[in-house]
Chains A and B, each alone.
Chain A
């Protein structure tokens, strides 16, 4: 199975795996690492944390005194950790233009000291398998299918190059993530 989309809940849950945090801290880190210029609304952060707590992925501490809508500190549960691990290890569906979700996974894996390199290898394998299937389509199919397969192959190849380059830059990226 593949996970196809950037997941705000899973990314927030991953950030919680570092240490118990307030919604405000999670929003700040999400915006800094994953927002790419688009901020996550506070409302979405608190709604997501509420759902994660409801589903047993996180637990909310008692409200603390202070300003703001929600001063609860959230912590990840074992079920939440399991969910994050499973999400990171799953290859993304090999479609073109998936750098956003892969970027999020790699960055989060590095933050959590998880095997980002192995995740990229799994993704590389998924990409290559998809390219083998498309090449087979080209060998047998009509020209229209060949042209569509060509388009997908060139984009997958570009993604694969990004995966290779990111693999080569993991140590550098880990340093950047550690230094915020």
Chain B
């Protein structure tokens, strides 16, 4: 267990860090000493096959799961040393979430769904709905605010989920297989919007995906296998730029 009295030294430039974290479910280990450091403002992908532990890592980084061993740091604070109430408050104010199936409330309208987390954070109703309208407009859903989300297509639903995550002006957006239930073209549109708008807002994005094409939207990509996160790929090198030129696509 962590000692909250011990101040955590943060890896330079990183906003969220997992340090040698372990997490098991019963007898089944999901993470076995995972280390990642996500920098402020970057799009960071965690890639790995099904059952590799990548979603568990995301849930630990987001403070939804508490690791059995090791520490998760957010902005210099040890998440797993916080009280559950403080963690919940942090998740509600600083983190936005996009999941594979949107996890919207189907009986509510798109605008209700986007406004809901703002209302939970005690934003005034009028402001919350104005903000929801702005974000739905940004995601090309300006005319869908009054529709129940249960009546929307998968792609529209995911765009509502992205609007809901961004409306909070979060420091971090956690996206778990955000395109997993979408066809390729719709998935790409969702990724374009999510990454473009997050960059405009200066939000950090952590995406979990099993698809390399989706991970390729990220600035850096970590691979998780058997519960261990491997070294993050370095930024593109001069050699790879040369390779790009040689293949003639750009």
Contacts and interface: CB of A to CB of B under 8 A. Distances in A.
Interface stretch (B125-133, B138-146, B210-218): B210-218
A83 interface: no
Interface residues of B, number: 27
Given A137-B250, A141-B250, A148-B249, A132 B243 contact: no
Contacts of B233: 125, 128-129
Contacts of B49: 164, 168
A29 interface: no
5 contacts: A121-B231, A128-B212, A130-B243, A141-B250, A154-B213
B217 A128 contact: no
Interface stretch (B13-21, B25-33, B158-166, B234-242): B234-242
Given A125-B233, A130-B244, A132-B218, A137 B249 contact: yes
Nearest to B232: A125
Contact of A152 (B217, B231, B247): B247
Given A149-B249, A167-B225, A133 B236 contact: yes
A106 B223 CA distance: 20
Interface of A: 1-2, 93-95, 121, 124-135, 137, 139, 141, 145, 148-149, 152-154, 156-157, 160-161, 164, 167-168
B107 interface: no
Interface of B: 49, 192, 211-213, 215-218, 221, 223, 225, 230-231, 233-234, 236-237, 239-241, 243-244, 246-247, 249-250
Contacts of B218: 132
A163 to B, nearest CB: 10
B236 A132 contact: yes
Given A135-B217, A139-B192, A152-B247, A125 B212 contact: no
Closest 8 CB pairs of A and B: A131-B216, A135-B216, A125-B233, A129-B240, A137-B250, A133-B244, A157-B212, A160-B212
Q: Which of B233, B239, B249 has the most chain A CB within a 10 Å cutoff?
A: B249
B240 A130 contact: yes
A131 to B, nearest CB: 4
B192 A129 contact: no
Contacts of B192: 139
Contact of A134 (B230, B237, B249): B249
Q: Is the interface of A mostly helix, strand, loop or mixed?
A: helix
A123 B237 CA distance: 14
A127 B212 contact: yes
A128 B221 contact: yes
A161 B216 CA distance: 14
A153 B191 CA distance: 15
Given A133-B250, A145-B249, A125 B243 contact: no
A129 B45 CA distance: 13
A13 to B, nearest CB: 24
Contacts of A154: 213
A174 B176 CA distance: 35
B247 A95 contact: yes
A137 B249 CA distance: 8
Nearest to B237: A129
A1 B241 CA distance: 11
Contacts of A145: 249-250
Given A2-B239, A125-B233, A130-B240, 17 more contacts: A2-B243, A94-B243, A128-B233, A129-B233, A129-B237, A130-B244, A131-B212, A131-B213, A132-B218, A133-B236, A133-B244, A133-B250, A141-B250, A145-B249, A145-B250, A148-B249, A149-B249
